[in-house]
């Protein structure tokens, strides 16, 4: 029987609530950029990605209320059926909070395998609501953004943890 080698755990500083708000607003502004053409199909749902990140990393600081309000803002900005993004983001927040311990146990690469199905679930919820409301099925390219979002998970995770990393100790050899 061999011992499992564990990577050293990094001790991070507490995240500031203002930083969470800034990242969520930044994701909202990225979603609101005027994407067109092929870029529109390749664009991930940045708000969903950042909401999922904070629900996995800080489940006590962000949850259903923030996800719901951001969803309502996205519905207003898209001019879409009121509540479709709100419902999808609330379900995504629930899944992120429920699975946060499981996702955190994995290194960053296997976390992507958890993130992609959750982002796909988010897209399916929005798509089902739109279809029930009478919209046409946009095609399977609609789901490409979820896979791009999964590919963005490692750099997003790295960038959002940067402010939490303590400054290096100058006396440490």
Could you read off the pLDDT of 132-166 as tens digits, one per residue? 999 898 888 999 999 999 999 999 999 999 999 88
Residue 46's SS3 state is: helix
Which of 30, 34, 24, 113 shows the shortest CA–CA distance to 67?
24
- Is 11 part of any domain? no
- Is 146 part of any domain? yes
Could you read off the pLDDT of 119-135 as tens digits, one per residue? 999 999 999 999 999 98
Confidence at residue 8, expressed as pLDDT on a 0 to 100 scale: 59
- Is 5 part of any domain? no
Confidence at residue 5, expressed as pLDDT on a 0 to 100 scale: 46
Confidence at residue 173, expressed as pLDDT on a 0 to 100 scale: 64
With a CB cutoff of 8 Å and minimum separation 6, the contacts of 165 are: 10, 12, 13
Q: 147 burial class (0-12, 13-18, 19+ CB within 10 angstroms)?
A: middle
> Measured between alpha carbons, how far is 141 from 153 in angstroms, rounded to an integer?
20
Confidence at residue 86, expressed as pLDDT on a 0 to 100 scale: 97
pLDDT above 80: residue 169 = no
Confidence at residue 38, expressed as pLDDT on a 0 to 100 scale: 82
User: Which one has a higher pLDDT value, 171 or 66?
Assistant: 66
Confidence at residue 10, expressed as pLDDT on a 0 to 100 scale: 75
Question: What is the number of domains present in the chain?
Answer: 1
- Is 2 part of any domain? no
Which domain range does residue 149 map to? Answer: 17-27+43-164
> Measured between alpha carbons, how far is 19 from 167 in angstroms, rounded to an integer?
18
User: Are the C-beta atoms of 28 and 94 separated by less than 8 Å?
Assistant: no
Output the six-digit token pair for 107.
């290194």
- Is 32 part of any domain? no
- Is 10 part of any domain? no
- Is 56 part of any domain? yes
- Is 71 part of any domain? yes
Could you read off the pLDDT of 22-70 as tens digits, one per residue? 999 999 999 999 988 888 889 999 999 999 999 999 999 999 999 999 9
Average pLDDT, the chain: 91
């Amino acid at each position: 029987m061999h011992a499992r080698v564990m990577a050293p755990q990094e001790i991070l500083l507490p995240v500031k609530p203002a930083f969470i708000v800034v990242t969520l607003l930044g994701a909202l502004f990225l979603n609101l950029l005027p994407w067109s053409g092929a870029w529109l199909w390749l664009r991930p749902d940045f708000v969903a990605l950042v909401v999922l990140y904070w629900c996995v990393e800080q489940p006590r600081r962000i949850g259903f209320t923030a996800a719901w309000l951001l969803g309502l803002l996205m519905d207003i900005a898209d001019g879409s059926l009121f509540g479709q993004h709100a419902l999808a983001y609330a379900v995504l927040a629930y899944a992120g909070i429920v699975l946060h311990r499981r996702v955190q146990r994995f290194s960053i690469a296997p976390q992507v395998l958890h993130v992609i199905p959750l982002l796909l679930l988010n897209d399916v919820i929005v798509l089902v609501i739109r279809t029930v409301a009478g919209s046409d099925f946009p095609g399977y390219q609609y789901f490409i953004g979820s896979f791009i979002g999964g590919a963005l998970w490692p750099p997003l995770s790295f960038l959002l943890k940067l402010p939490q990393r303590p400054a290096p100790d100058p006396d440490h050899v």
